[in-house]
């Protein structure tokens, strides 16, 4: 996984520039497409009165697939947005730029752990 050393144009929550996950975008879209199909498959199993345990097995599979995407996005986010904020903090002498990004990322991790 490559890491940008150059600063991003912005660290605001709403920013126009490329995100950390840009390079991996197509891979994420393929995996999300597959997860969407898995959820549709689960609905079909319910529709066709399949055995509950078999449905739950598929449910665990889609959870795993979505978690893998989340972990990937998180890695890209830390490698790009957090790292760039670290550089901006150093250049500007303002540690809050990076500490905000770190808190935000940690809050996202915490939400994933409880979801």
Q: Which of residues 71-90 bind its own copies (CB under 8 A)?
A: 71, 73-79, 81-83, 86-87, 89-90
Q: How many angstroms separate the CA atoms of 56 and 77, rounded? A: 31
Maximum separation of any 2 CA atoms in the chain, in Å = 62
* Smallest separation (angstroms) from its own copies to the CB of 31: 9
Burial environment of residue 24 by CB neighbours within 10 A (0 to 12, 13 to 18, 19 or more) = middle
Find, among 74, 79, 14, the residue nearest to 87 by Cα.
79
8, 9, 23, 43: which one contacts its own copies (CB under 8 A)? 43
Q: At closest approach, how far in Å is the CB of 99 from its own copies?
A: 4
Residue of 8, 9, 23, 53 that binds its own copies (CB under 8 A): 53
User: What's the min distance (Å) between Cβ of 88 and its own copies?
Assistant: 10
Instruction: Tell me the three state secondary structure of residue 2.
Output: coil
* 98 makes contact with its own copies (CB under 8 A): yes
**Per-residue contact string for residues 8-37; x = within reach of its own copies by CB under 8 A:** -----xxxx-xxxxx--x--xx--xx-xx-
Burial class for 82, CB neighbours closer than 10 Å (0-12, 13-18, 19+): middle
> Shortest Cβ distance from residue 18 to its own copies (Å)?
7
């Amino acid at each position: 996984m490559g890491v940008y050393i150059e600063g991003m144009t912005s660290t605001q929550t709403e920013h126009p520039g490329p995100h950390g996950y840009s390079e991996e975008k197509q891979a994420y879209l393929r995996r999300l497409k597959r997860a969407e199909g898995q959820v549709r498959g689960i609905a079909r199993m319910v529709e066709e009165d399949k055995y509950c345990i078999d449905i739950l097995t598929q449910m665990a599979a889609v959870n795993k697939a979505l978690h893998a995407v989340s972990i990937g996005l998180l890695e890209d986010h830390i490698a790009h947005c957090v790292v760039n904020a670290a550089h901006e903090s150093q250049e500007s002498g303002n540690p809050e730029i990076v500490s905000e990004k770190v808190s935000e990322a940690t809050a996202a991790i915490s939400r994933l752990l409880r979801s």
